[in-house]
């Protein structure tokens, strides 16, 4: 086996596709030259990528610099001859994601230099595609871990544009992870509460997948509320009946200013948003698509109809979705327009056209006029890398002021456009989704007709006028299609729901019992530890705690939603374990007992909070089943009182 084959064998453990491509590579690889020290270097455009004298000594300096900055992961732009990677490994740093922008370099280097021992390490990844590197950052890196991006000087010069793009995307990907975690911490408990409160609406309104394939080949417009909406929203008025018009809830009122009542408004906020509605005729002429975890107040809005979608990241929904009659969990990238895109694909629409999807700041504005933001003042400070927004919001007396770190996205104008973390997150999701859509081979075209803002890789960028002229053909009656579709909705399976909630209740009661026993044992362990230190009695006590935790984890599988309600606590616990403890082992042990006590106290609280809710749900389901056991066809006529006390 030659050096290239050895390297490719190691590489194929994590990137088989690249390994195969390298083996089959047929063009001229970069030429490696021997250095004075007997190692290797190469040059591109007459510039050497490593010292011509002693590249290993050079890499040692670079690795020392990287290691001094203490990061969990090193994101290396440029493999070069692999000397930095090896020097890092010698410094006990072997969690690295390496992106090499040139396959010619990759092939030349892997032909001559054996890196197989490093490439086969568990946390060393090598890519020649930015998207693949970003995938690992999104899926393989904990949001709490910190990253250090490093690029050797020659790569900064030779691949300046790619490096800027790469750094932006790494930053945005990691930000996405952090945003996801923060959203989870801030929202999970409220989502679960909303889910339980909304149970009585689920039989009343159809799941959104009732509309699956009902709009095959028909155009869909998804309107975001970005500043560019004002450039082409007026064209929508003539598209009623020619396209399915879906508005993000923020875009609803701005569209009304142009005389456009959308066919659907999509919303999923955990808080109520009464200010987004007119309470007039317009509301009654549109429909709401609501997430199952939306605020219950949103289900009380008087609109023509409502549809529900179930989220794939809510364990309760995953378990119950099919029982409520839904087999569809949309791919969601954090905003309702991302969910709308996946729904458009599910409806069978094509083309799916975005407008008002700027994903960046406009001229002194964040949103199109006419919505809930009355006046805005956006101040971008490029030097500090931040943006300060002052805005008058319809429901607030005083100006709202917020500050965000600037993120940069590739703009439609070819340059970079200023953005912020949530938009950058959505942008990244769109680009990943377009890669996914392409892979599915579905004949669906997606157009970004925003006419401003960020460029979204994978979408076609043309004006709305051009899209209409080219792709919008014929008319159809949306009301008729929907009426027909709703008739065919899947029935609710109350028996299955009853069984599921029963299992959850049993599990919850079991978890609570064990949590209380753990707390009691922890108290005794603490007492023993404080009185006598590390004794055989303490060791036995810790062993008992461990066994009880194991049993609790098993019991918790029956009520997995409980973990979601505890995400803030588990994150704190994780952070506690990540922190370098500057104390001795005795003190640390004491702290660990304290953190176990805090965690299980919280778990006990959550169990006590949800046990009566589940009791209540079960008694209502029970009475419903009793009423309907003789008439199975009466499936949708229950009206529950809100389950949350």
Partner 1 sequence: MPEVYLDGSKIDFEDSGKNLTIGELIVSLESELIRHRRFVLELWVDGEKLDNWRESLFLKKPVSSHGDFKLNTASVDAIALEGIDIVQEYLRVIKSNITVCVRDLRIGNIGDTELSPIFEGLIEVVKTLDALTQGGGRYGIDLFKENPGVFYQPLLKNMEALKNAKDSGDAVLAADILEYELHPLIEEIEEKVFHKGV
Binding site for partner 1 (CB under 8 A): 36, 47-53, 58, 61-62, 65, 151-154, 156-157
**CA 226 – CA 286 distance, rounded (Å):** 21
**CA 565 – CA 193 distance, rounded (Å):** 9
- Sign of the dihedral through C-alpha 286, 309, 491, 504: negative
**CA 101 – CA 104 distance, rounded (Å):** 9
Kindly state the smallest distance separating residue 183's Cβ from partner 1, in Å: 35
Partner residues linked to 355 by β-bridges: 223
Toward partner 1, which CB reaches closer, 52 or 517?
52
Kindly state the smallest distance separating residue 91's Cβ from partner 1, in Å: 14
Q: What is the DSSP string of 265-291?
A: EEE--SS--GGG--SSHHHHTSEEEEE
Kindly state the smallest distance separating residue 87's Cβ from partner 1, in Å: 12
Kindly state the smallest distance separating residue 58's Cβ from partner 1, in Å: 5
Toward partner 1, which CB reaches closer, 62 or 286?
62
Kindly state the smallest distance separating residue 546's Cβ from partner 1, in Å: 46
**CA 287 – CA 263 distance, rounded (Å):** 6
Q: What is the DSSP string of 516-565?
A: HHHHHHHHHHHHHHHHHSS-HHHHHHHHHHHHHHHHHHHHHGGGTHHHHH
Kindly state the smallest distance separating residue 110's Cβ from partner 1, in Å: 21
Toward partner 1, which CB reaches closer, 383 or 579?
383
> Any residues with CB less than 8 A from the CB of 384 and at least 6 apart, and which?
none
Kindly state the smallest distance separating residue 416's Cβ from partner 1, in Å: 20
Kindly state the smallest distance separating residue 48's Cβ from partner 1, in Å: 5
Kindly state the smallest distance separating residue 53's Cβ from partner 1, in Å: 5
**CA 203 – CA 628 distance, rounded (Å):** 14
Kindly state the smallest distance separating residue 34's Cβ from partner 1, in Å: 15
Toward partner 1, which CB reaches closer, 152 or 219?
152
**CA 26 – CA 31 distance, rounded (Å):** 14
Question: What b/e string do you get for 78-112 counting C-beta neighbours within 10 Å, with b at 16 or more?
Answer: bbbbbbbbbbbbeeebebbbbbbbbbbbbbbbbbb
Toward partner 1, which CB reaches closer, 61 or 629?
61
What are the tokens at 200? 């009585």
Q: Which of 511, 518, 490 is closest to 206 using CA atoms?
A: 490
> Any residues with CB less than 8 A from the CB of 514 and at least 6 apart, and which?
548, 551, 552, 555
CA 379, chain centre distance (Å)? 28
Toward partner 1, which CB reaches closer, 50 or 323?
50
Toward partner 1, which CB reaches closer, 108 or 411?
108
Toward partner 1, which CB reaches closer, 53 or 436?
53
312 DSSP assignment: T
Q: Which helix (H) or strand (E) holds 502?
A: helix 494-532
Q: How far apart are the first and last CA of the chain?
A: 69
Q: Pairing between strand 305-309 and 352-355?
A: unpaired
- Judged by phi (left if over 0) then psi (alpha if -120 to 50, else beta), residue 193 lies in alpha
Toward partner 1, which CB reaches closer, 38 or 536?
38
Toward partner 1, which CB reaches closer, 52 or 513?
52
Kindly state the smallest distance separating residue 61's Cβ from partner 1, in Å: 4
Toward partner 1, which CB reaches closer, 87 or 248?
87
Kindly state the smallest distance separating residue 81's Cβ from partner 1, in Å: 12
Toward partner 1, which CB reaches closer, 154 or 351?
154
């Amino acid at each position: 086996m030659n050096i290239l084959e050895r390297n490719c064998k190691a590489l194929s453990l994590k990137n088989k596709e690249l390994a195969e491509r390298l083996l089959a590579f047929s063009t001229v690889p970069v030429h490696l030259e021997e250095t004075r020290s007997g190692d290797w270097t190469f040059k591109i455009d007459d510039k050497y990528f490593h010292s011509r004298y002693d590249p290993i000594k050079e890499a040692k300096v670079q690795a020392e610099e990287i290691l001094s900055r203490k990061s969990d992961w090193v994101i290396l732009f440029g493999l070069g001859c692999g000397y930095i990677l090896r020097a890092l490994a010698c410094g006990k740093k072997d969690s690295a994601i390496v992106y090499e922008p040139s396959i010619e370099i990759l092939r030349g280097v892997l032909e001559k230099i054996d890196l197989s021992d490093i490439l086969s390490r568990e946390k060393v990844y090598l890519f020649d595609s930015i998207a693949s590197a970003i995938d690992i950052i999104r899926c393989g890196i904990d949001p709490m871990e910190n990253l250090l991006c490093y690029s050797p000087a020659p790569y900064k010069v030779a691949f300046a544009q790619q490096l800027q793009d790469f750094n932006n995307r790494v930053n945005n990907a990691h930000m996405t992870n952090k945003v996801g975690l923060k959203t989870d911490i801030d929202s999970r408990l409220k989502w679960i509460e909303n889910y339980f409160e909304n149970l009585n609406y689920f039989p009343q309104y159809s799941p959104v997948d009732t509309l699956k394939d009902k709009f095959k080949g028909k155009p869909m417009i998804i309107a975001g509320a970005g500043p560019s909406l004002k450039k082409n929203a007026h064209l929508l008025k003539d598209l009623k009946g020619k396209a399915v018009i879906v508005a993000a809830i923020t875009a609803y009122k701005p569209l009304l200013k142009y005389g456009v009542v959308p066919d659907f408004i999509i919303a999923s906020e955990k808080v109520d948003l009464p200010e987004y509605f007119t309470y007039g005729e317009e509301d009654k002429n549109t429909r709401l698509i609501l997430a199952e975890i939306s605020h219950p107040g949103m289900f009380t809005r008087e609109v023509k109809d409502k549809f529900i979608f179930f989220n794939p990241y809510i364990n309760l929904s995953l378990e119950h979705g099919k029982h409520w009659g839904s087999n569809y969990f949309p791919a969601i990238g954090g905003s309702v327009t991302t969910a709308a895109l996946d729904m458009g694909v599910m409806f069978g629409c094509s083309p799916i056209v975005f407008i008002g999807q700027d994903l960046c700041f406009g001229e002194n504005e964040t949103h199109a006029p006419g919505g809930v933001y009355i006046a805005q003042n956006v101040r971008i400070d490029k030097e500090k890398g931040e943006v300060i927004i002052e805005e008058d919001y319809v429901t607030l007396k005083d100006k709202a002021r917020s500050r965000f770190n600037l993120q940069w996205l590739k703009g439609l104008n070819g340059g970079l456009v200023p953005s912020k973390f949530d938009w950058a997150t959505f942008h990244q999701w769109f680009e990943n989704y377009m890669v996914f859509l392409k892979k599915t081979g579905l004949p669906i075209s997606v157009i970004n007709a925003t006419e401003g803002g960020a460029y979204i890789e994978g979408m076609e960028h043309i004006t709305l006028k051009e899209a209409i002229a080219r792709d919008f053909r014929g008319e159809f009656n949306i009301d008729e299609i929907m009426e027909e579709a709703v008739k065919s909705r899947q029935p609710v399976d109350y028996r299955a729901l009853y069984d599921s909630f029963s299992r959850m209740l049993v599990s919850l009661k079991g978890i609570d019992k064990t949590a209380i026993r753990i707390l009691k044992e922890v108290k005794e362990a603490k007492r023993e530890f404080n009185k006598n230190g590390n004794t055989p009695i303490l060791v036995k006590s810790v062993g008992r705690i461990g066994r009880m935790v194991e049993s609790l984890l098993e019991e918790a599988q029956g009520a997995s939603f409980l973990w979601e309600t505890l995400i803030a606590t588990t994150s704190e616990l994780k952070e506690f374990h990540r922190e370098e403890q500057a104390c001795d082992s005795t003190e640390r042990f004491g702290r660990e007992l304290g953190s176990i006590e805090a965690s299980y106290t919280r778990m006990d609280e959550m169990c006590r909070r949800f046990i009566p809710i589940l009791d209540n749900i079960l008694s209502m389901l029970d009475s419903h089943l009793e009423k309907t056991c003789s008439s199975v066809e009466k499936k949708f006529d229950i009206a529950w009182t809100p389950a949350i006390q």
